[in-house]
Structure 1
Amino acid sequence: MDILKAVALSVAASGAAAAAPAFVLQDAAGQLWALKDHLGRERLLIVSQPSAAYLAEVRRQNVALQVRDLRVVALLTSGDARLNGPQALTLTLLADLTGTVAQQYGPDALIGKDGGVKARYAAPPALKTVLALVDTMPMRQQERRLRGR
Protein backbone atom coordinates (compact mmCIF):
# COMPACT_ATOMS: atom_id res chain seq x y z
CA MET A 1 0.00 0.00 0.00
CA ASP A 2 2.98 2.33 0.57
CA ILE A 3 3.79 2.15 -3.15
CA LEU A 4 0.22 3.12 -4.01
CA LYS A 5 0.40 6.10 -1.67
CA ALA A 6 3.75 7.17 -3.11
CA VAL A 7 2.41 7.03 -6.67
CA ALA A 8 -0.75 8.93 -5.72
CA LEU A 9 1.28 11.55 -3.84
CA SER A 10 3.73 12.02 -6.70
CA VAL A 11 0.86 12.50 -9.13
CA ALA A 12 -0.91 14.93 -6.78
CA ALA A 13 2.27 16.88 -6.07
CA SER A 14 3.07 17.29 -9.74
CA GLY A 15 -0.26 18.99 -10.45
CA ALA A 16 -1.66 18.28 -13.89
CA ALA A 17 -0.55 14.97 -15.31
CA ALA A 18 1.55 14.97 -18.46
CA ALA A 19 -0.44 14.33 -21.61
CA ALA A 20 -0.20 10.83 -23.03
CA PRO A 21 1.63 10.72 -26.38
CA ALA A 22 -0.70 9.78 -29.23
CA PHE A 23 -0.23 6.53 -31.10
CA VAL A 24 -1.90 4.27 -33.65
CA LEU A 25 -1.07 0.54 -33.80
CA GLN A 26 -2.53 -2.58 -35.43
CA ASP A 27 -4.18 -5.51 -33.72
CA ALA A 28 -3.80 -9.14 -34.84
CA ALA A 29 -6.57 -8.70 -37.43
CA GLY A 30 -4.78 -5.73 -38.97
CA GLN A 31 -7.30 -3.22 -37.61
CA LEU A 32 -5.95 0.14 -36.55
CA TRP A 33 -6.33 1.13 -32.89
CA ALA A 34 -5.81 4.81 -31.99
CA LEU A 35 -5.30 6.10 -28.47
CA LYS A 36 -7.30 9.26 -29.19
CA ASP A 37 -10.43 7.20 -29.89
CA HIS A 38 -10.48 5.95 -26.29
CA LEU A 39 -9.53 9.04 -24.29
CA GLY A 40 -12.45 10.52 -22.42
CA ARG A 41 -14.32 7.21 -22.39
CA GLU A 42 -11.84 4.82 -20.77
CA ARG A 43 -8.83 4.74 -18.53
CA LEU A 44 -5.97 2.86 -20.17
CA LEU A 45 -3.27 0.72 -18.65
CA ILE A 46 -0.52 0.40 -21.26
CA VAL A 47 1.66 -2.66 -20.57
CA SER A 48 4.64 -3.75 -22.61
CA GLN A 49 5.36 -7.44 -23.15
CA PRO A 50 3.18 -8.78 -20.32
CA SER A 51 3.45 -12.46 -19.47
CA ALA A 52 0.78 -14.96 -20.44
CA ALA A 53 -0.12 -15.21 -16.74
CA TYR A 54 -0.64 -11.44 -16.57
CA LEU A 55 -2.95 -11.53 -19.61
CA ALA A 56 -4.89 -14.40 -18.03
CA GLU A 57 -5.30 -12.32 -14.86
CA VAL A 58 -6.61 -9.40 -16.93
CA ARG A 59 -9.19 -11.73 -18.45
CA ARG A 60 -10.19 -12.99 -14.97
CA GLN A 61 -10.54 -9.40 -13.71
CA ASN A 62 -12.67 -8.34 -16.70
CA VAL A 63 -15.69 -7.29 -14.61
CA ALA A 64 -13.65 -5.25 -12.11
CA LEU A 65 -11.94 -3.50 -15.02
CA GLN A 66 -15.27 -2.80 -16.76
CA VAL A 67 -16.75 -1.24 -13.61
CA ARG A 68 -13.81 1.21 -13.54
CA ASP A 69 -13.82 1.88 -17.31
CA LEU A 70 -10.27 0.50 -17.40
CA ARG A 71 -8.87 -1.09 -20.56
CA VAL A 72 -5.55 -2.93 -20.55
CA VAL A 73 -3.60 -2.35 -23.77
CA ALA A 74 -0.90 -4.99 -24.16
CA LEU A 75 1.97 -4.07 -26.48
CA LEU A 76 3.46 -7.17 -28.07
CA THR A 77 6.06 -7.75 -30.76
CA SER A 78 5.01 -8.59 -34.29
CA GLY A 79 4.44 -12.31 -34.72
CA ASP A 80 3.87 -12.89 -31.00
CA ALA A 81 1.41 -15.80 -30.69
CA ARG A 82 -0.37 -13.98 -27.85
CA LEU A 83 -1.68 -11.45 -30.39
CA ASN A 84 -4.15 -14.13 -31.46
CA GLY A 85 -5.04 -15.12 -27.90
CA PRO A 86 -8.47 -15.00 -26.30
CA GLN A 87 -10.02 -11.57 -26.16
CA ALA A 88 -11.87 -9.83 -23.34
CA LEU A 89 -13.93 -6.65 -23.36
CA THR A 90 -11.26 -4.84 -21.36
CA LEU A 91 -8.17 -6.23 -23.12
CA THR A 92 -6.66 -4.98 -26.36
CA LEU A 93 -3.64 -6.75 -27.87
CA LEU A 94 -1.53 -4.58 -30.21
CA ALA A 95 1.63 -5.11 -32.23
CA ASP A 96 4.27 -2.52 -31.32
CA LEU A 97 6.64 -3.35 -34.19
CA THR A 98 9.44 -0.95 -33.29
CA GLY A 99 8.91 -0.76 -29.53
CA THR A 100 8.47 3.00 -29.85
CA VAL A 101 5.18 3.13 -27.96
CA ALA A 102 6.60 1.05 -25.12
CA GLN A 103 9.53 3.46 -24.88
CA GLN A 104 7.18 6.48 -24.80
CA TYR A 105 5.26 4.99 -21.90
CA GLY A 106 8.33 3.88 -20.01
CA PRO A 107 7.42 0.87 -20.48
CA ASP A 108 4.06 0.73 -18.61
CA ALA A 109 1.66 3.55 -17.73
CA LEU A 110 -1.81 4.33 -16.48
CA ILE A 111 -3.64 6.98 -18.51
CA GLY A 112 -6.69 8.72 -17.12
CA LYS A 113 -9.83 9.59 -19.03
CA ASP A 114 -8.48 13.14 -19.30
CA GLY A 115 -5.50 11.86 -21.31
CA GLY A 116 -2.99 12.49 -18.55
CA VAL A 117 -0.42 9.92 -17.51
CA LYS A 118 -1.39 9.15 -13.91
CA ALA A 119 1.35 6.64 -13.07
CA ARG A 120 4.35 4.96 -14.70
CA TYR A 121 5.58 1.48 -13.88
CA ALA A 122 8.85 -0.35 -14.60
CA ALA A 123 6.95 -3.62 -15.15
CA PRO A 124 3.29 -4.58 -15.56
CA PRO A 125 1.75 -3.59 -12.22
CA ALA A 126 -0.46 -5.81 -10.11
CA LEU A 127 -4.05 -5.17 -11.15
CA LYS A 128 -5.18 -4.75 -7.55
CA THR A 129 -2.69 -1.89 -7.17
CA VAL A 130 -3.97 -0.18 -10.32
CA LEU A 131 -7.62 -0.68 -9.34
CA ALA A 132 -6.91 0.83 -5.91
CA LEU A 133 -5.22 3.84 -7.52
CA VAL A 134 -8.13 4.32 -9.94
CA ASP A 135 -10.55 4.21 -7.00
CA THR A 136 -8.74 7.21 -5.43
CA MET A 137 -9.18 9.37 -8.54
CA PRO A 138 -11.76 12.17 -8.20
CA MET A 139 -13.44 11.30 -11.51
CA ARG A 140 -13.82 7.67 -10.43
CA GLN A 141 -15.30 8.73 -7.10
CA GLN A 142 -17.81 10.89 -8.96
CA GLU A 143 -18.66 7.93 -11.23
CA ARG A 144 -19.27 5.76 -8.15
CA ARG A 145 -21.70 8.31 -6.76
CA LEU A 146 -23.55 8.62 -10.08
CA ARG A 147 -23.56 4.92 -11.00
CA GLY A 148 -23.84 3.45 -7.54
CA ARG A 149 -20.88 1.12 -8.19
Structure 2
Amino acid sequence: MKKFKKLILAAAVVILAIVGVSTPASAALGSTAVKMDSSFAYGGTAYIHTSQDGSNIYSTYEAAYDSYVYVKLSVQVYESGTWRTVETKSGYARKAWGENQKFNATFYNYSTAGTRTFRIRASIYDWYDTSYLMQTAYSATWTR
Protein backbone atom coordinates (compact mmCIF):
# COMPACT_ATOMS: atom_id res chain seq x y z
CA MET A 1 0.00 0.00 0.00
CA LYS A 2 2.90 2.40 0.74
CA LYS A 3 4.34 1.84 -2.74
CA PHE A 4 0.96 2.63 -4.29
CA LYS A 5 0.72 5.92 -2.34
CA LYS A 6 4.26 6.86 -3.41
CA LEU A 7 3.40 6.06 -7.03
CA ILE A 8 0.24 8.24 -6.90
CA LEU A 9 2.19 11.09 -5.25
CA ALA A 10 4.93 10.87 -7.89
CA ALA A 11 2.35 10.91 -10.71
CA ALA A 12 0.68 13.99 -9.19
CA VAL A 13 4.01 15.82 -8.96
CA VAL A 14 4.81 15.03 -12.61
CA ILE A 15 1.36 16.23 -13.77
CA LEU A 16 1.66 19.48 -11.81
CA ALA A 17 5.16 20.08 -13.20
CA ILE A 18 3.96 19.58 -16.79
CA VAL A 19 0.94 21.86 -16.36
CA GLY A 20 3.03 24.55 -14.65
CA VAL A 21 5.68 24.56 -17.41
CA SER A 22 3.22 24.66 -20.31
CA THR A 23 1.21 27.70 -19.10
CA PRO A 24 2.28 30.81 -21.08
CA ALA A 25 3.38 33.96 -19.28
CA SER A 26 0.88 36.77 -19.31
CA ALA A 27 2.65 39.68 -17.64
CA ALA A 28 1.30 43.11 -18.63
CA LEU A 29 -1.64 41.64 -20.49
CA GLY A 30 -4.97 43.19 -19.62
CA SER A 31 -6.34 46.67 -20.27
CA THR A 32 -4.57 49.92 -21.06
CA ALA A 33 -6.46 53.19 -20.66
CA VAL A 34 -5.98 55.69 -23.50
CA LYS A 35 -6.83 59.33 -22.76
CA MET A 36 -8.20 60.88 -25.93
CA ASP A 37 -6.37 64.03 -27.05
CA SER A 38 -7.71 67.29 -28.51
CA SER A 39 -8.61 65.59 -31.81
CA PHE A 40 -11.68 64.24 -30.00
CA ALA A 41 -14.34 66.85 -29.25
CA TYR A 42 -15.59 65.09 -26.13
CA GLY A 43 -12.27 63.69 -24.88
CA GLY A 44 -12.79 60.66 -22.69
CA THR A 45 -10.95 57.40 -22.27
CA ALA A 46 -10.66 54.50 -24.70
CA TYR A 47 -9.18 51.09 -23.86
CA ILE A 48 -6.85 48.60 -25.51
CA HIS A 49 -7.51 45.12 -24.10
CA THR A 50 -4.94 42.36 -24.70
CA SER A 51 -4.77 38.65 -23.91
CA GLN A 52 -3.14 35.53 -25.29
CA ASP A 53 -3.23 31.77 -25.29
CA GLY A 54 -0.71 29.14 -26.37
CA SER A 55 -0.41 30.37 -29.95
CA ASN A 56 -2.57 33.48 -30.45
CA ILE A 57 -2.70 37.12 -29.36
CA TYR A 58 -6.09 38.79 -28.88
CA SER A 59 -6.70 42.53 -28.84
CA THR A 60 -9.82 44.68 -28.52
CA TYR A 61 -10.19 48.42 -28.99
CA GLU A 62 -13.00 49.96 -26.96
CA ALA A 63 -13.84 53.50 -28.08
CA ALA A 64 -14.24 56.46 -25.72
CA TYR A 65 -17.78 57.67 -25.12
CA ASP A 66 -19.31 59.63 -27.98
CA SER A 67 -16.65 58.65 -30.50
CA TYR A 68 -16.88 56.87 -33.81
CA VAL A 69 -13.51 55.69 -35.12
CA TYR A 70 -11.75 53.49 -37.62
CA VAL A 71 -8.88 51.70 -35.87
CA LYS A 72 -5.85 49.70 -36.96
CA LEU A 73 -4.46 47.31 -34.34
CA SER A 74 -0.90 46.17 -34.97
CA VAL A 75 1.22 43.56 -33.23
CA GLN A 76 4.69 44.99 -32.72
CA VAL A 77 7.82 43.17 -31.57
CA TYR A 78 10.91 44.83 -30.07
CA GLU A 79 14.05 43.81 -32.00
CA SER A 80 17.51 45.36 -32.14
CA GLY A 81 16.43 48.49 -30.28
CA THR A 82 13.36 49.29 -32.38
CA TRP A 83 9.69 48.33 -32.63
CA ARG A 84 8.77 46.38 -35.78
CA THR A 85 5.17 45.90 -36.93
CA VAL A 86 4.48 42.24 -37.64
CA GLU A 87 0.80 42.26 -38.54
CA THR A 88 -2.11 44.74 -38.70
CA LYS A 89 -5.89 44.33 -38.67
CA SER A 90 -8.46 47.10 -38.99
CA GLY A 91 -12.12 47.85 -38.38
CA TYR A 92 -14.62 50.23 -36.79
CA ALA A 93 -15.43 50.99 -33.15
CA ARG A 94 -17.99 53.33 -31.61
CA LYS A 95 -19.57 54.13 -28.30
CA ALA A 96 -22.59 56.43 -27.90
CA TRP A 97 -26.20 56.37 -26.74
CA GLY A 98 -26.12 52.86 -25.32
CA GLU A 99 -24.11 51.52 -28.26
CA ASN A 100 -20.74 49.89 -27.59
CA GLN A 101 -19.28 48.41 -30.78
CA LYS A 102 -15.77 47.20 -30.01
CA PHE A 103 -13.20 46.19 -32.61
CA ASN A 104 -11.73 42.72 -31.94
CA ALA A 105 -8.63 41.34 -33.64
CA THR A 106 -7.03 37.90 -33.37
CA PHE A 107 -3.41 37.47 -34.42
CA TYR A 108 -2.68 33.80 -35.10
CA ASN A 109 0.39 31.58 -34.61
CA TYR A 110 2.76 33.52 -32.35
CA SER A 111 5.21 31.20 -30.62
CA THR A 112 5.74 31.28 -26.87
CA ALA A 113 9.12 29.59 -27.25
CA GLY A 114 11.21 32.76 -27.15
CA THR A 115 11.65 35.79 -24.99
CA ARG A 116 10.45 38.46 -27.38
CA THR A 117 8.78 41.67 -26.16
CA PHE A 118 5.44 42.55 -27.74
CA ARG A 119 2.90 45.38 -27.65
CA ILE A 120 -0.22 46.42 -29.55
CA ARG A 121 -0.24 49.74 -31.42
CA ALA A 122 -3.66 51.33 -31.99
CA SER A 123 -3.78 53.83 -34.85
CA ILE A 124 -7.06 55.71 -34.45
CA TYR A 125 -8.63 57.34 -37.51
CA ASP A 126 -11.76 59.36 -38.22
CA TRP A 127 -14.81 57.13 -38.88
CA TYR A 128 -15.78 59.00 -42.06
CA ASP A 129 -12.28 59.87 -43.36
CA THR A 130 -10.18 56.77 -42.74
CA SER A 131 -7.04 58.52 -44.02
CA TYR A 132 -7.18 61.09 -41.18
CA LEU A 133 -5.02 59.78 -38.31
CA MET A 134 -6.31 61.32 -35.10
CA GLN A 135 -4.19 59.60 -32.44
CA THR A 136 -1.81 56.69 -31.85
CA ALA A 137 -1.74 54.71 -28.62
CA TYR A 138 0.06 51.64 -27.27
CA SER A 139 -0.76 48.80 -24.93
CA ALA A 140 1.57 47.80 -22.14
CA THR A 141 4.40 45.50 -23.23
CA TRP A 142 4.73 41.81 -22.40
CA THR A 143 7.18 38.99 -23.06
CA ARG A 144 6.15 35.93 -25.04
TM-score (norm 2): 0.24
Structure 1 length normalisation: TM-score? 0.24
Greater share of strand? 2
RCO comparison, higher one (Cα < 8 Å, 6+): 1
